[in-house]
Structure 1
Amino acid sequence: MCGRFVVASTGSELVGVLRVDLESDDLPEPSYNVAPTDRVAIVIDSTKTEPPTRRLEAARWGLVPGWAKDPKIGVKAFNARSEELEGKPMFRNALQKRRAVVPASGYYEWKTTESGKVPHYIHPTDGSPLLMAGLYEWWKDAAKAEDDPTRWMLSFTILTRDSIGHLGSIHDRMPLFVDADHADAWLDPSTDNVGDVLDAAIDAAPSVAETLEDHTVSRAVGNVRNNSHELIEPSAE
């Protein structure tokens, strides 16, 4: 699973190789302790234009499908198992047309030990963005006026798969990583072979996972109120 992650930069510096056409003017500030319901920047291919426009948009973490009566449903939908997407109404429609890439600097995972759960920070060795496959949805708040700019909420979930290699020794699940070569296919809303695109992402994720490194960090990351660069520093505990 992925319950906390880090976004240490914003805008073009964050997305790098994804060739974003438009960046939203309300992107969140960097965060060293992103938690579910927080807003972060995600990459989507908008179908409002032809060809689709690649956008960097601010979105709330925790998927809220369009049919939901209350956005609170998203609190429990911050992750989605990639092998179960096609069988779950919560994610099925988004998988078909609304796929996203969630760029991050790295993420946290907790390893269960005899002395309790120990947080690890997992990240690329070269400082490049870590790209995670996601799904997104737009939800309309019917209680707000038509001209209220906050009436529409963009939300997302991060996909996961079985862990491999050294990441498996930390936790049995890991985000579904994508590389630049697979990101274009993953984002393309016009593809008819969604199953093939998903399978390709699942198969390619281990090659990204093998390039990542990790180290233990302070248990302070467990408190969402803590948010500073010190959280990603190797722990002295």
Structure 2
Amino acid sequence: MDAKLMARLFNAILADREFNFNKEIYPSEQAPVIIHNPKESERKIGQMHWGFKTNYSSKLLINARSETIDQKPTFKDSFYNRRLIVPFTDYFEWKGPKGNKTKYRFSVEEDSPYAFAGIYNKFKIKDRTQWRYSLITTEPNPKAAEIHNRMPAILTDNNINRWLDPDSEPSVLKKLLRPFPGNLSYQPEGPEQLKF
């Protein structure tokens, strides 16, 4: 999705002059995100690395579970105070035995703007401060459940506004993180290639 189109669809302004990102985003890579800082009047689109980086784990925490996001120390404060959305056109899931997995491309069949729900925080990495985000996952809807036992929390329409609103009540926010009620479709992309 073009950055200018993104700004128009989500009623935001561009914080970065240039956006260099791949069509398919992998953990640790940068992706466009939209935040609404309570101290500012407008939403902003910037780039942020995917995956929380903590001192207690060598792995990036790329997802936060909706069921416990308001309880886990790593995610709790971000859920209450630092929420964002990640615009997307498609997302991918894998299914099958190890070494022979099939990649499936999921698409949202909606006309209105839609985005993943996420949270963000600041981390110190190699003596450098860096803002990073994590996506929120929830129970799958019936279509997503055919391939995977979780799905990203997808927001549309007014739910995007509620999620980004600094004054939204936690109980309201939690209700937004439900299986996607709209229509999804998916198609196989091909088997996983074993790399040496």
Instruction: Kindly indicate whether the alpha-carbon contact (under 8 Å) linking 2:100 and 2:191 is maintained by their aligned counterparts in 1.
Output: no
The 1:121/1:222 distance shift into structure 2, 3 A limit, reads: farther
Deviation of 1:27 (Å): 2.4
Q: Which runs of 4+ in 1 moved over 6 A?
A: none
Q: Retained in 1: the 8 A contact 2:15–2:46? A: yes
Look up the SS of the partner of 1:86 in the other structure.
coil
Aligned to 2:52: 63
Whether 1:160 and 2:123 are equivalent positions in the alignment is no
The separation in 1 between residues aligned to 2:131 and 2:18, in whole angstroms, is: 13
For 1:12, the aligned partner's letter is K
Q: Is the 2:66–2:138 contact (alpha carbons within 8 Å) kept by the matching residues of 1? A: yes
Structure 2, gaps ≥5 residues long: none
Alignment of 1:26-175 (within 5 A): 26-29=18-21, 31-49=22-40, 51=41, 53-64=42-53, 68-69=54-55, 75-112=59-96, 116-125=100-109, 130-140=114-124, 143=127, 151-175=128-152
Q: Give identity over the alignment, percent.
A: 22
In the alignment, what sits opposite 1:12?
Answer: 4
User: In the TM superposition, what are the counterparts of 1:151-230 in structure 2 within 5 Å?
Assistant: 151-191=128-168, 193-199=169-175, 201-203=176-178, 205-208=179-182, 211-219=183-191
Q: Cα 1:202–1:90, aligned 2, differ >3 Å: closer, same or farther?
A: same
TM-score (norm 2): 0.86
User: 1:221 deviation in Å?
Assistant: 8.0
Contact 2:93-2:147 within 8 A present in 1 as well:
yes
How much does 1:188 deviate?
1.2
Normalised TM-score (structure 1): 0.72
2:96 and 2:192 mapped to 1: Cα distance?
Answer: 16
Q: 1:111 Cα deviation (Å)? A: 1.7
Q: Which residue in the other structure is 1:3 paired with? A: none
In the alignment of these two chains, the number of paired residues is 195
- Aligned mates of 2:193, 2:135 — CA distance in 1: 20
Change in 2 beyond 3 A, CA 1:128/1:108: farther
Tell me how far apart the structure 1 counterparts of residues 19 and 78 of structure 2 sit (CA, whole Å): 22
